[in-house]
Amino acid sequence: MTLNGCTLTPTACLTGGGSLAERVNPSAYEHLLARDPHKWCRTYFRTEVACETVENGIAECFNTIILDARKKSLLALFEEIRLYMMDRFYHVL
């Protein structure tokens, strides 16, 4: 279900008289109005990563894996990373 043409905030759009949501499914309309919009409306969702340790862990793991390859020339470094990724994908899949 989409709320076509609604440029207001989600709560204002729902509470506006004769909204599409109210006409399509009155019980769903009442259910949404009873809830906090921060819990169900996409405009209030956070888009950043919830835990930065995940990003740091991935970066540290990658740096540990390429530690020896970093001492090589650039092309050798890329080749080492390519071979590692191919091997990793082969064993994971």
Domain boundaries in the chain?
A: 10-44, 52-92
Residue 88 clears pLDDT 80, i.e. is over it: yes
Summarize pLDDT for 13-56 with one digit per residue, the tens.
555 656 777 788 888 888 878 888 777 777 776 666 666 666 77
CB 32 within 8 A of CB 14: yes
pLDDT over 70 for what percent of the chain? 68
User: pTM of the full predicted structure?
Assistant: 0.40
Residue 66 clears pLDDT 60, i.e. is over it: yes
CB 81 within 8 A of CB 66: yes
In sequence order, which residues have a C-beta less than 8 Å from that of residue 2 and are 6 or more positions away? none
